[in-house]
Amino acid sequence: MSMDLSIPRHWRRKGPLYRLEAAKCKECGKTHYPPTASCPYCGSKLLERVQLPRVGVLESYTIVYSPPEGARQESPVIVGLINLGGVRVVAEMTDVDPGELSTGMKVEAVLRRVREDGEAGVIYYAVKFRPLLEAGRSGEGQTAEPR
């Protein structure tokens, strides 16, 4: 994975990074994240952008205790596989102790700082997931149950 977080590249990816935008194929009907120029299932280029739910279910996770040098300052890094209504997203978990995680728990998307470019003063953000704090809060009616 490239660590190139140039301002223009980051800005072009703001939909998937900030708003959980995915692509839905008009030919086969499948949705994929992150969005691409063609459907990975049937190859069609007839795609529309759709908003994924912000609440989902943690299907699996892993804890990385030794991230590559330069990739992160803090350790451990928790990466989760989140089911958002049939679309699976791999994303970093935040605001949680590794011992508090369990598969099947509800999680919610939150915007968090990813990196700060000291020279340019640019702060990069992306969506991460945390355990759902309160039932019925921030995403009521948008819960994504596994299919």
pLDDT digits (tens, 9 = 90+) for 48-84: 999 999 999 999 999 998 887 766 667 788 999 999 9
For residues 120-124, give the mean pLDDT.
Answer: 74
Query: Is residue 115 predicted with pLDDT exceeding 90?
Result: no
pLDDT digits (tens, 9 = 90+) for 29-46: 999 998 999 999 999 999
**Model-level pTM greater than 0.85?**
no
Q: Return the HEC string of the chain.
A: CCCCCCHHHHHHCHHHHHHCEEEEECCCCCEECCCCCCCCCCCCCCEEEEECCCEEEEEEEEEECCCCCCCCCCCCEEEEEEECCCCEEEEEECCCCHHHCCCCCEEEEEEEEEEEECCCCEEEEEEEEEECCCCCCCCCCCECCCC
